[in-house]
Amino acid sequence: MPRIDRRTFLKAAGASATALVASSSLPAVSETEKGLIAVSTPLATFPYGDVQLHEGPMKRQFDENHERFLHLDEDRLLKVFRQVAGLPAPGEDMGGWYDLTGFSLERNSFRGFIAGHSFGQYVSALARAYAVTGSEETRSKINRLVKGYGETLDPKARFFVDYRLPAYTYDKLSCGLIDAHEYAQDPMAMEIHERLTRAIGAYLPEKALSRAEQRSRPHKDTAYTWDETYTLPENLFLAYQRSGKPLYLEMAKKYLEDDTYFNPLAEGNNVLPFEHAYSHVNAFSSAMQAYITLGSEKHLRAARNGFEMLEKTQSFATGGWGPNEAFGEPGTGQLGDSLALTHASFETPCGAYGHFKITRYLLRVTKDAHYGDSMERVLYNTILGAWPIQPDGTSFYYSDYADTGRKVWYGQKWPCCSGTFPQLAADYHVSIYLRSHDGIYVNLFTPSSVRWSDRGANLALTQVTQYPFDNKIELHISASQPHEQVVYIRIPAWAAPSPTVMINGRQIQETVEPGTFAALRRSWNDGDRIQIELPMPLRLEAVDVNHPNLVALLQGPLVLMAVAEKQPAFDAQSLLRARPPANAAGDWSAISADGTPVTMRPFLSIDKESYSAYVKVSG
Ligand SMILES: [Zn+2]
C-alpha cells in the first residue's frame, strides 16, 4: 500500500477548522501553508487506500474496471501517438473514437474522430486504482504508459495539428499525468505534463469559449466548434497545487468561463438551457477549484447556484439529467416531453462522474447532507446499472428513460464514457466517507471500511448493510484506545418521519433529522456498534410540473421502474401500495389500472428487459 503521511491529521486535531487536513486529494503538506490554495475545505476526502469496498456492486464495478484497463494492451493504447510521431507503432488499432482513421462525423479533414482522447483517463483510473490497491503491476503499467506517451511528445505537440478537440483531449491527458504523479508517484509525469502544457496553447483559443461563441467564429473548418475549453481549469488548478508552478495558475484563470457562464450563474441567472450537459456540469468543478485555489466566492456561488438549477430544472427522478446531452428551457415541460422523443436520456458514466465530483466538492465546502442525497440517487439509479466495459471497448453510454426503454450498448467503441467509468469506480473510495477536524462523515451506505488516526489513536469503522434493499445499517467501530470523535451520519431527506439511531442497542438522545447529518460525539470504545434504521416510504415524483401524471415510483434512493413492453398506467394510490420484495434483492409488485400485476425493478437490477422509468397515473 502507498504510505500516507498522517501528520496533517494529527496537526488538524489541535488546530482550527481552517488548518485542516491533507489527504490524497489535498496533498500531504497543507496547501494553505504552502500558499498554494486560499481555502481549506471543512471536509476532506480520505486517501484512496484508506477506504476499502467490501462485496457489493460498487466493489464489483471497481474490480471489473481495474482489471479491464490493467490488461489493455499498451501498444494499442500508445499506437495513435506513435503513428503521428513517426515512431514504430505496433499493435492493433483500438477502434471506435480512439483511432486516427475509420471514424468521421461530418468531415474528413481531421485525424479520425478524437484519436487518443481517453488515454489520459485510463492512466488516471489506473493511478487511482493503484492508490486503492497498491498493486505493483498497476504501478509499472502506469510508468510504462507515461514514459511511452512522453516519447511521442515533441516540443510543438504536433499531435494536435488539425485535431478536432484539442482542449478536450489535453484536459484528459492533464488529468492522467497529474494523477500518475500524485497517486502512483510516477517520476516523469509532471515533466511531461509541463512540456505538453507549454505546447498546447498554440492550439487553443484565447479564452474559454461557449458553444455560441464557437459557432460564431469564422473558421476554415470545424475546429473550435464544440471543444470544451471551459473544463480545463479544474485540472490546471490541481497541477498548480501539485507542482507550485505559476504557469498552471495563469492558464487555469484564463480558461474560467466567466463572461458567459460563471458570472451569470453567480448572479442567479439560469444560463444552462441549450448548453452541452456533461461538460457544463464538469465545468462546475472548475469553479470549485477557483474557489479553493483563489478564494473566489463568486465561483463558489456559481457552482452552488448552477447545481441547484441543475437539480430543480434539468433532473429526472434518477438524478440523471440532460436528454440528448443538452439542457432544456425550464418551465416548458422539456423533460417530460423528452420521454416520448429520445432514448438518450442521460449520458451515464460521464454524467455520474461529473455529478460525483461536484457533489463531493460542495459537500466538502458546505457539509450539507443534501449533496450526499443527490450523489446516492445518481449512484443507485444510473451508474450502478451500467453494463461493464467489454474487452473490445464496447461501452454503456446512455440511460434510457423513454416511455418504453431498454439498455443498449453504444455504437462506437471506446467512447468518452469508457474513460470516466473507471475513474468514477475508483472514486467510490473517496465518496463514502469524509474527514473533518473532529471526526468522520458517513456519506454513503455501502459495505465498506475506513481507517484513520487521530491524536495517537488508530480508528476504523466498518459498515455492514444490504442498503438500499434493506433500511438497516450497522457501523462497527474499532479503536486502539478509547477516543473522542464525532461520527456524522447522513440522514436522507426522504427518511421521514422518524429515523432511529442506536448505539450499542440504546437509542441516542441527539436529534436525528432527515436531510441533515446526525452528529454522535462520544468517547468511542473498541467494539462499539451504531445501528441506523431509515424509514423508506414509497413516494411518487412527477417528471416535471407540466406532466403531473407522468411519475416515477421511489423507495428510499431507488427509482422502481416498471418492467413492461409498453408503458403501464396506474391509479396513484394503488401504485403507492406496491408490495416490497420478499427477499433482499427481489422485485416489487404493483397493480396497474387494468388490474394486472406489474413487476417494479430498480435500474441496477435491470438487464435486457424493457422497462418504463416513468409511468402514467390517474387519481
Ligand atoms: Zn460519456
Please give the distance, rounded to the nearest whole angstrom, from the Cα atom of residue 278 to the centre of ligand 1. 8
pLDDT for 105? 43
Bridge-based pairing of strands 346-347 and 398-399 is antiparallel
Please give the distance, rounded to the nearest whole angstrom, from the Cα atom of residue 375 to the centre of ligand 1. 18
Please give the distance, rounded to the nearest whole angstrom, from the Cα atom of residue 101 to the centre of ligand 1. 21
Please give the distance, rounded to the nearest whole angstrom, from the Cα atom of residue 347 to the centre of ligand 1. 6
Those residues of the chain that have pLDDT short of 70 are 1-29, 102-112, 218-225, 583-585
Please give the distance, rounded to the nearest whole angstrom, from the Cα atom of residue 349 to the centre of ligand 1. 6
Please state whether the peptide bond connecting residue 2 to the residue before it is cis, i.e. omega within 30 degrees of 0. Answer: no
Please give the distance, rounded to the nearest whole angstrom, from the Cα atom of residue 389 to the centre of ligand 1. 12
Please give the distance, rounded to the nearest whole angstrom, from the Cα atom of residue 97 to the centre of ligand 1. 11
Please give the distance, rounded to the nearest whole angstrom, from the Cα atom of residue 479 to the centre of ligand 1. 42
Please give the distance, rounded to the nearest whole angstrom, from the Cα atom of residue 4 to the centre of ligand 1. 33
In whole angstroms, give the CA distance from residue 26 to residue 138: 23
Please give the distance, rounded to the nearest whole angstrom, from the Cα atom of residue 421 to the centre of ligand 1. 9
In whole angstroms, give the CA distance from residue 270 to residue 51: 38
Please give the distance, rounded to the nearest whole angstrom, from the Cα atom of residue 52 to the centre of ligand 1. 27
pLDDT in tens, 377-407: 999 999 999 999 999 999 999 999 999 999 9
Please give the distance, rounded to the nearest whole angstrom, from the Cα atom of residue 346 to the centre of ligand 1. 9
Please give the distance, rounded to the nearest whole angstrom, from the Cα atom of residue 312 to the centre of ligand 1. 23
User: Can you read off the three cell numbers belonging to residue 202?
Assistant: 498554440
Please give the distance, rounded to the nearest whole angstrom, from the Cα atom of residue 79 to the centre of ligand 1. 22
Please give the distance, rounded to the nearest whole angstrom, from the Cα atom of residue 602 to the centre of ligand 1. 22
Please give the distance, rounded to the nearest whole angstrom, from the Cα atom of residue 397 to the centre of ligand 1. 6
Collapse the DSSP code of 78 into the 3-class scheme (helix H, G, I; strand E, B; otherwise coil) and give the result. Answer: helix
Please give the distance, rounded to the nearest whole angstrom, from the Cα atom of residue 63 to the centre of ligand 1. 20
In whole angstroms, give the CA distance from residue 197 to residue 208: 16
Please give the distance, rounded to the nearest whole angstrom, from the Cα atom of residue 133 to the centre of ligand 1. 26
Measured from the Cβ of residue 612, the count of other Cβ atoms closer than 10 Å reads 24
Which residue, 487, 437, 486, 518, is CA-closest to 43? 437
Which residue, 319, 308, 184, is CA-closest to 242? 184
User: Can you read off the three cell numbers belonging to residue 473?
Assistant: 445499517
Please give the distance, rounded to the nearest whole angstrom, from the Cα atom of residue 235 to the centre of ligand 1. 18
Please give the distance, rounded to the nearest whole angstrom, from the Cα atom of residue 579 to the centre of ligand 1. 36
Query: pTM of the predicted model, to two decimals?
Result: 0.93
pLDDT in tens, 204-243: 999 999 888 888 876 545 455 579 999 999 999 999 999 9
Please give the distance, rounded to the nearest whole angstrom, from the Cα atom of residue 256 to the centre of ligand 1. 22
pLDDT for 112? 67
Please give the distance, rounded to the nearest whole angstrom, from the Cα atom of residue 414 to the centre of ligand 1. 10
Please give the distance, rounded to the nearest whole angstrom, from the Cα atom of residue 396 to the centre of ligand 1. 9
Please give the distance, rounded to the nearest whole angstrom, from the Cα atom of residue 42 to the centre of ligand 1. 31
Please give the distance, rounded to the nearest whole angstrom, from the Cα atom of residue 417 to the centre of ligand 1. 3
Please give the distance, rounded to the nearest whole angstrom, from the Cα atom of residue 227 to the centre of ligand 1. 14
Please give the distance, rounded to the nearest whole angstrom, from the Cα atom of residue 415 to the centre of ligand 1. 6
CA distances from 19 to 34, 37, 113, 457, 485 (A): 12, 12, 46, 20, 18
Please give the distance, rounded to the nearest whole angstrom, from the Cα atom of residue 387 to the centre of ligand 1. 14
Please give the distance, rounded to the nearest whole angstrom, from the Cα atom of residue 283 to the centre of ligand 1. 15
Q: Transcribe 562-602 into DSSP letters.
A: EE-SS--EEEHHHHTTPBPPSSTT--EEEE-TTS-EEEEEE
Please give the distance, rounded to the nearest whole angstrom, from the Cα atom of residue 367 to the centre of ligand 1. 29
Please give the distance, rounded to the nearest whole angstrom, from the Cα atom of residue 120 to the centre of ligand 1. 14
Collapse the DSSP code of 275 into the 3-class scheme (helix H, G, I; strand E, B; otherwise coil) and give the result. Answer: coil
Please give the distance, rounded to the nearest whole angstrom, from the Cα atom of residue 324 to the centre of ligand 1. 12
Helix or strand (DSSP H, E) at 383:
none
218: Cβ–Cβ under 8 A, 6 or more apart, which residues? none
Measured from the Cβ of residue 137, the count of other Cβ atoms closer than 10 Å reads 10
CA dihedral 35, 39, 40, 43 (to 10 degrees): -160
Please give the distance, rounded to the nearest whole angstrom, from the Cα atom of residue 416 to the centre of ligand 1. 4
Please give the distance, rounded to the nearest whole angstrom, from the Cα atom of residue 313 to the centre of ligand 1. 21
pLDDT for 29? 59
Please give the distance, rounded to the nearest whole angstrom, from the Cα atom of residue 286 to the centre of ligand 1. 18
Please give the distance, rounded to the nearest whole angstrom, from the Cα atom of residue 260 to the centre of ligand 1. 24
603: Cβ–Cβ under 8 A, 6 or more apart, which residues? 318, 380, 381, 382, 384, 385, 399, 559, 561, 613
Please give the distance, rounded to the nearest whole angstrom, from the Cα atom of residue 350 to the centre of ligand 1. 4
CB-count exposure of residue 583 (10 Å: 0-12, 13-18, 19+): exposed
Q: Are 240 and 197 in contact (CB under 8 A)?
A: no
Please give the distance, rounded to the nearest whole angstrom, from the Cα atom of residue 373 to the centre of ligand 1. 23
Which residue, 302, 241, 311, 242, is CA-closest to 268? 302
CA distances from 148 to 80, 120, 448, 524, 611 (A): 12, 12, 36, 50, 45
